[in-house]
Amino acid sequence: MSQSSKLILAIFSFFCIISCKSQNRTVNASSTAVVVLSDTTFVNLKDYSEDFIYDMKYATSDNFLKAQVYDCAECFLRLKTVTALVEANKKFIKKGYRIKLFDCYRPLDIQKKMWTIVSNPEYVANPAKGSIHNRGGAVDITLVDSSGKELEMGTGFDFFGIEAGHNYTNLSQNIKDNRILLKSVMMESGFNPFNSEWWHYNLKEGLNDKVSNVKWECN
């Protein structure tokens, strides 16, 4: 074989190797699927952070209904609500506190069950309209300190009286400060307060989502 033929063969072999490697990289890249969730997808909060405390009241009978209406205690929310809540909790953690959750997303069937037990729109949202809880954009929360003790908020969760409202002022300065801390950080993180309930917050971006009856599995 002549020198020129050997040179041509070497060049051809070089480009063949480069081409094969390039094709192999392309195949490998395309075989790795990236799943991108919509921000309205329902997800479990515990899959996104381990920094929350849970006391899911409606999975017990320790609530104003005096009845367990959830089969098990899980905090599902739309992904965008989870994202905002995790960011809010990071801010609280820097201040020495953490969020404790009482209620999250509530399937419409559960809302109907609650309405059957207490058919009073002052206490339970009429399922005919649904609530932000049914849309996956609401949370009922308080704060705990580094030892897990709840901060004083003036009333307990689901206390239905004027004392639970944000505009009620006949409170100690410590309680006022605790409510202001909770409210200010939540609002900074994209949530709106509910005037008559210091514990209830709605994600601003979730107000127009559809009422849902998506249910979670109990393990």
Per-residue pLDDT at 132 exceeds 80: yes
In this structure, what token pair is assigned to residue 207? 């107000």
Mind listing the pLDDT tens digit for each residue in 40-86? Answer: 999 999 999 999 999 999 999 999 999 999 999 999 999 999 999 99
Q: Is 202 helix (H, G, I), strand (E, B) or coil?
A: strand
pLDDT for res 1: 53
DSSP H or E stretch at residue 138: strand 138-144
pLDDT for res 34: 55
Neighbours of 35 (CB within 10 A): 4
Is this structure's pTM higher than 0.75?
A: yes
Distance between CA atoms of 32 and 23, rounded to whole angstroms? 15
Per-residue pLDDT at 210 exceeds 70: yes
3-state secondary structure 62-120: CCCCCCCCCCCCCCEEEHHHHHHHHHHHHHHHHCCCEEEEEECCCCHHHHHHHHHHCCC
| Confidence bin at 24 (pLDDT 50/70/90) | very low
Per-residue pLDDT at 13 exceeds 90: no
The rounded Cα 1 to chain-centroid distance in angstroms is 72
